[in-house]
């Protein structure tokens, strides 16, 4: 662990390098700042639920175990198909909810990993099996062979899941001991990456499983302070002549937002989540099922209002 003096020295060295870069190569300096801004937005994006598994420890008395499988851009993707797939996990939690007793754990992969698995049934099955095996080893459990994929994507609240995955600290790698003239921009970017930490990984290819590469690669995550306020909003149900709902219109006031690109919007059939990193967060259950593919979002920059129009799904005859 670096001392306060060492961290101050590294910070001073970093600022000196940036000042030198701004003076000698202004275009490279601006490009560097854009890259860092984009990376900061990626790291601030919260994990999103994609799949919920229900398993049970071996033995009739074992309480149900729910595994929330999430997509999180902060978890790196594998560099090559044969490489382990990094996974980040929260702590196993015991929950007593009314008359229901169960355990819950949150597991996160890079969204691209889950996207590829969702496009291939065999890969998804393989990823699920390895995920359950990872949970067994990490939590010292023995699970029964059977499992269920729940109809809902998340067990528990979104806030609990995100806090669970963000609850571990990742150490920061020290700068190299080169002088400031010897430290290149690439080395500077590399020095901002996290130190190597204990990892386990999931291999998606059966042919690779026979190698000595570990199957599970767990990574630590960095907790970023989040003090997000709930924006003002108005939900309106537009009905037809027979008073049947046609569409939902959600107006959200975002006075400190200047572009729709600052908003992270997630819409499912029954809920909507919008987050502006470091500013706003809103999660709402919808009063009717909507067609997420036909949903539109328009941001009025002058008024600072985001209008989301969601067509209501017509009931089947």
pLDDT tens by residue, 32-59 = 767 766 666 656 678 889 999 999 887 6
Least confident of 39-53, 72-86, 302-316: 39-53
Least confident of 95-99, 123-127, 224-228: 224-228
Length of the chain: 317
Instruction: Return all residues near 194 (Cβ < 8 A) that are at least 6 apart.
Output: 170, 171, 172, 173, 220, 222
Q: How many angstroms separate the CA atoms of 37 and 261, rounded?
A: 13
Q: How many angstroms separate the CA atoms of 87 and 114, rounded?
A: 11
Any idea where the domains of the chain sit in the sequence?
45-225, 233-311
pTM of the full structure: 0.47
pLDDT at 288 over 50: yes
pLDDT value at residue 293: 84
How far lies 212's CA from each of 79, 82, 88, 201, in Å? 18, 12, 21, 12
Round the average pLDDT of the chain to a whole number and report it.
76
Instruction: Return all residues near 113 (Cβ < 8 A) that are at least 6 apart.
Output: 77, 78, 85, 127, 204
Q: How many angstroms separate the CA atoms of 173 and 45, rounded?
A: 22
pLDDT band at 217 (very low <50, low <70, confident <90, very high): low
Instruction: Return all residues near 187 (Cβ < 8 A) that are at least 6 apart.
Output: 176, 178
The number of beta carbons lying within 10 Å of the beta carbon of residue 63 is 13
Q: Does domain 233-311 have CATH number 2.60.40.790?
A: yes
pLDDT tens by residue, 132-172 = 999 998 888 888 888 899 999 999 888 888 888 876 433 33
């Amino acid at each position: 662990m670096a001392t306060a003096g060492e961290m101050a020295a590294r910070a001073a060295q970093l600022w000196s390098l940036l000042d030198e870069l701004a003076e000698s190569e202004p275009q490279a300096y601006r490009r560097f700042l854009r890259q860092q801004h984009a990376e900061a937005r990626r790291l601030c994006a919260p994990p999103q639920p994609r799949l919920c598994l229900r398993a049970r420890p071996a033995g009739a008395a074992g309480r149900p175990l729910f595994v929330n499988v999430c997509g999180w851009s902060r978890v790196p993707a594998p560099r090559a198909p044969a490489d382990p797939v990094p996974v980040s996990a929260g702590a196993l939690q015991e929950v007593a909810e009314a008359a229901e007793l169960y355990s819950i754990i949150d597991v996160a992969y890079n969204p691209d990993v889950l996207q590829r698995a969702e496009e291939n049934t065999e890969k998804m099955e393989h990823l699920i099996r390895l995920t359950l095996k990872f949970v067994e080893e990490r939590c010292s459990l023995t699970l029964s062979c059977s499992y269920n994929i729940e109809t809902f994507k998340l067990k528990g609240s979104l806030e609990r899941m995100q806090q669970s995955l963000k609850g571990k600290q990742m150490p920061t790698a020290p700068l190299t001991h080169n002088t400031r003239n010897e430290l290149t921009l690439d080395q500077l970017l590399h020095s901002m990456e996290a130190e190597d930490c204990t990892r386990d990984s999931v291999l998606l290819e059966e042919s690779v499983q026979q190698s000595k590469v570990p199957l599970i690669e767990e990574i630590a995550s960095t907790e970023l302070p989040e003090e997000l306020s709930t924006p003002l909003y108005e939900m309106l149900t537009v009905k037809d002549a027979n008073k049947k709902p046609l569409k939902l219109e959600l107006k959200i006031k975002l006075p400190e937002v200047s572009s729709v690109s600052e908003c992270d919007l997630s819409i499912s059939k029954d809920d909507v989540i919008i987050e502006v990193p470091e500013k706003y967060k809103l999660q709402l259950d919808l009063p009717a099922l909507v067609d997420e593919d036909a949903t539109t979002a328009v941001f009025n920059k002058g008024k600072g209002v985001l209008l989301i129009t969601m067509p209501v799904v017509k009931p089947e005859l």
